Structure 1
Amino acid sequence: MRIDVLMFEGVAEVDALATYATFANAQRRGLAVDPRLVTADGATEVTGCYGTRFSGLEGWSPETARVLAVSGGWILEEIDRGVIPAQLAAAKRAGGDRLILAGIDSGTLLLGAAGLLAGRPATTHRADYERLTPWAEVVDARIVDDGDLVTCGTGWFAGVDLACHLLVRELDAAPDVVALEQWIGRDRQGTVWQRA
């Protein structure tokens, strides 16, 4: 299962790397995951919101990825520019129903600006609930799972919780995820909201 973690100028380092590291640890444990740090435009370098420089990035592959994880960061400027939202809309068209969009923290707003939430249930950083309201049915939960759209809420460890949830859901890997959580030293938090 290929997981593309989107990197862009101003990405929140901890959102992207905590999510990536969780999937990478699962891969080292033998789970069938292939996490990658990617860009939409093929850029090989970006700078995060706290000035961390990332290199060696590769272009994304929405046609073959199972998950496209979109981190938060300095995204209001990106929403205004409209480039990343347009790229996300194109990625979903290319990936179709099999591509799971995963919004990490305020990264969900980029999915909303891309027109990909269309009144669906979603969550984001609590400070951004009002911003998310025009695009989605805002649910106050740690993780909101609506099939091919999975979003997580506030915090530096939200992406860890989202990755663990997807590993259990997609790979039926609950025992492996429990071991991974014990190794990380953190149990998942909060409620997972799923449509009945």
Structure 2
Amino acid sequence: MRIDVLMFEGVAEIDALATYAVFANAQRRGLAVEPYLVTADGATQVTGCYGTTFAELVPWAPESARVLAVSGGWVLEEIERGVIPRQLAEAKAAGGEQLVLAGIDSGSLLLGAAGLIAGRPATTHRADLERLAEWAEVIDARVVDDGDLVTCGSGWFAGTDLAYWLLERELGATAEVVALEQWIGRDRQGTVWRR
């Protein structure tokens, strides 16, 4: 299962890396996941919102990925520019129903601006719930699962909870996720909301 974690100028480092780290550790433990740090435009380097430079990034592959995880960060500027929302809409069109969109904290706002969550249940960082209401049915839960749209919110490490949930849901890897939680030293928080 290929998992693409989207990187862009101003990406929130913790959103992207905490989520990626769970998937990468799962891969090292033998689970059938292939996580990648990717860009939409083929850039091989970006700088995060706190100044961290990420290099050796690869182009995303929405037509073959199972999950496209969209991190938060300085997203309001990106929404105004409109480039990433347009790219996300194109990615979903290419990936179709098999591509799960995963919004990590304010990354859900990018999905909203792309027109990909209209009226659907979703969550984001609590500071952005009012903004999210412009596009989605806001659910104040740690993880909101609506099939091919899974979002998380309520803090810096919400992406780990999203990653744990996707591993359990997609691979049925409950025992392995418990082992991951123990290894990482961070148990899941909150609940998973499902319709």
Place the TM-score, normalised by the shorter chain, in its bin: over 0.9
2:85 is matched with which residue?
Answer: 85
Taking the aligned partners of 1:161 and 1:98, their CA distance within structure 2 comes to 21
Q: Deviations over 1:98-121 (max 9, x none)?
A: 000000000000000000001000
1:171 paired with 2:171, answer yes
1:71 is matched with which residue?
Answer: 71
Tell me the CA shift for residue 154 of structure 1: 1.8
Q: Deviations over 1:93-144 (max 9, x none)?
A: 0000000000000000000000000100000000001100010000010000
SS state of the match for residue 118, structure 1? Answer: coil
With the length of structure 1 as denominator, give the TM-score of the two structures. Answer: 0.99
Q: Deviations over 1:8-55 (max 9, x none)?
A: 000000000000000000000000000000000000000000000000
Taking only the aligned residue pairs, the percentage that are identical comes to 81
Q: Deviations over 1:61-104 (max 9, x none)?
A: 00000000000000000000000000000000000000000000
Tell me the CA shift for residue 155 of structure 1: 1.2
How do residues 1-196 of structure 1 correspond to structure 2 at under 5 angstroms?
Answer: 1-195=1-195
Report the RMSD for the aligned CA atoms in angstroms.
0.4
Gaps of 5+ in 1: none
Taking the aligned partners of 1:177 and 1:61, their CA distance within structure 2 comes to 26
With the length of structure 2 as denominator, give the TM-score of the two structures. Answer: 1.00
Structure 1 residue identity aligned to 2:22: T
Taking the aligned partners of 1:184 and 1:20, their CA distance within structure 2 comes to 13
SS state of the match for residue 61, structure 1? Answer: coil
Extract structure 1 runs of 4+ deviating beyond 2 A.
none
SS state of the match for residue 103, structure 1? Answer: strand
Taking the aligned partners of 1:83 and 1:110, their CA distance within structure 2 comes to 10
